[in-house]
Amino acid sequence: MTINGWIQILVYCSILLLLVKPLGGYMYRVFSGDRTLLSPLLAPVERGLYRLAGTSEKEEQHWAVYATGMLLFNLAGFLVLYALQRLQGALPYNPAGMSAVEPGLAFNTAVSFVTNTNWQNYGGESTMSYLVQMAGLTVQNFVSAATGIAIAIALIRGFARASGKSIGNFWVDLTRCTLYVLLPLCIVLTLAYVWLGIPQTFGPYVDATTLEGAKQTIALGPVASQIAIKMLGTNGGGFFNANAAHPFENPDAISNLIQMLSIFALGAALTNVFGCMVGNQRQGWAILASMGVLFLVGVTVCYWAEAAGNPLVHALGIDGGNMEGKETRFGIALSALFAVITTAASCGAVNAMHDSFTALGGMIPLINMQLGEVIVGGVGAGFYGILMFVVIAVFVAGLMVGRTPEYLGKKIEAKEVKMAMLAILSLPLAMLIFTAIAVVLPGAVASIANGGPHGFSEVLYAYTSAAANNGSAFGGLSGNTPWYNITLGLGMLMGRFLVIIPALAIAGSLAAKKTVPASAGTFPTDGTLFVGLLVGVIIIVGGLTFFPSLAVGPIVEHLAMIHGQTF
């Protein structure tokens, strides 16, 4: 590790913290229906969309109605995206002449982008036309991100309201998030990316001849606009197969910094939105502090492991850190930082190949996802995910002092705890069961490129990434097979909707409760003690659940590496 590397990490963290309050304050005004600078321009469009949808900003919904609207909207998005892929060969804006996507891959991709996972069992520049990239994938990048934020806002209303029967209106939240938050920011980001050299064109691919006389085709397309929402919406699906390691997606250190800030910006700002909506900003800062502790520990371990390098390589007389699978324009520090950011959020974009990380360096992204990606997390998804752990932490605190647990004046009772546990346990259910089957099923084993613990880690990473709605790949696994396309798709659905439905049920239950005034026996949830308790609950639940799988994967690989053994 170097001082320069740590300076880059600290600069990133400082800029991010400076963005939290202004961006959070703006989002608070948007979702409260207050006037903003963009209201004169966008308010007429907003009202027109409500008329088309047959709803109104004054119309509120019960949590079950809210959930039904969300599910139907996502089902419609899946069907449209699936149809676009299957009909791709007959549709316009296809200068490379891409043929129809086969059914299994089309199913996997449609589920992937609808659930904000963006797992890609294909190379974007060799599989998807411009039309599918824009009207299919990019549109889902917007609305899947807006869906996650809408669910987070609905859950926050559950804590903020008292004796209410509604938690908002899904169509209003979706519209406001897209119009006032995602679109304006993405327009600015797109222009910045074009200025930095990222392509944005409808022109065909370009044929070129290298200095050695070799012929090659340079893929182009409407890249910048997709990269903007890919990062801001924590989607992660790349226009190119190499993702953010490709120079047309991430050309230099400036674009890399902007993309890393984009990944965390909205998720971190939601903690401030939470504080504003419940009337106590210290509550939001406490949650952000919990996220920050876990994030900094992950960055430290990953950076240290990659900077230390591989002992097996050192034994050959080659000193230095582990640069395998990394871009020289980013180096070890920014590659490790990017890996932790993209897996702490449910983004999945990569500027280095995680399969080439050291055993411990690659374990950190895996742990980030297994913890439910609550370390900032995906836009909205990370926040309602960590609130599930908040419910459990408050319940544990209540048991310690022998009184009914409370949070923000709401009594946390059996229903809320059961729903929170259902949401938390749905992730290991999808991650571990599918992994266990895949490592013994002959057809699934045939897709694994490496033997021993590293091969096991590849499979575990794939199902963890799917269920956590992350989308990054460890590499080395041939995932475009009927088995992986279907099971990874099912994992994505479980990881998305088996968390959302319990979260909305909790929101409805809490909104209907009266607010209990704080007393001398109320456990404070805005201080250091609660931050420590919340971090402890997250680590213990994750550790107890996933440690056995980590032990036979990256931990065994690390022990073998330091003892000079290979598999």
Write out pLDDT tens, residues 10-54: 999 999 999 999 999 999 999 999 999 999 999 999 999 999 888
If one counts the domains in the chain, the total is: 1
SS3 content of the chain, % helix, strand, coil (to 5): 65, 5, 30
- What is the residue type of 493? L
In a domain, 315, yes or no: no
In a domain, 400, yes or no: no
In a domain, 467, yes or no: no
Is 88 strand, coil or helix?
helix
pTM exceeds 0.95, yes or no: no
The token duo for 388 is: 């599930």
Domain containing 74: what range?
21-279
Lowest mean pLDDT among 261-265, 359-363, 400-404, 478-482: 400-404
Backbone dihedral region of 54: left (phi > 0), alpha (psi from -120 to 50 degrees) or beta? Answer: left
Q: Which of 315, 396, 382, 386 is nearest to 345 (CA)?
A: 382
What is the DSSP code string of 101-146?
PPHHHHHHHHHHHHTT----SS-HHHH--HHIIIIIIIHHHHHHHH
Q: Which of 489, 494, 499 is nearest to 424 (CA)?
A: 499
Mean pLDDT of the chain: 91
| Dihedral angle computed from the Cα positions of residues 50, 27, 392 and 145, in that order, rounded to the nearest 10 degrees | 60
In a domain, 148, yes or no: yes
User: 473: pLDDT confidence band, cut at 50, 70 and 90?
Assistant: confident
Handedness of CA 557, 462, 376, 235 (dihedral sign): positive
Residue range 461-465: average pLDDT? Answer: 93
| Whole-number Cα distances in Å, 343 to 152, 218, 358, 367, 461 | 19, 30, 16, 9, 11
In a domain, 182, yes or no: yes
* Cα–Cα distance for residue pair 389/404, rounded to 1 Å: 17
- Residues in CB range of 123: below 8 A, 6 or more apart: 240, 241
- What pLDDT digit, counting tens, does each position of 507-529 carry? 999 999 888 887 777 788 888 99
In a domain, 253, yes or no: yes
User: 234: pLDDT confidence band, cut at 50, 70 and 90?
Assistant: very high
Cα atoms in the Cβ-side hemisphere of radius 13 Å centred on 295: 26
User: 177: pLDDT confidence band, cut at 50, 70 and 90?
Assistant: very high
* Cα–Cα distance for residue pair 211/328, rounded to 1 Å: 22
In a domain, 150, yes or no: yes
In a domain, 357, yes or no: no
Is 435 strand, coil or helix?
helix
* Cα–Cα distance for residue pair 509/163, rounded to 1 Å: 10
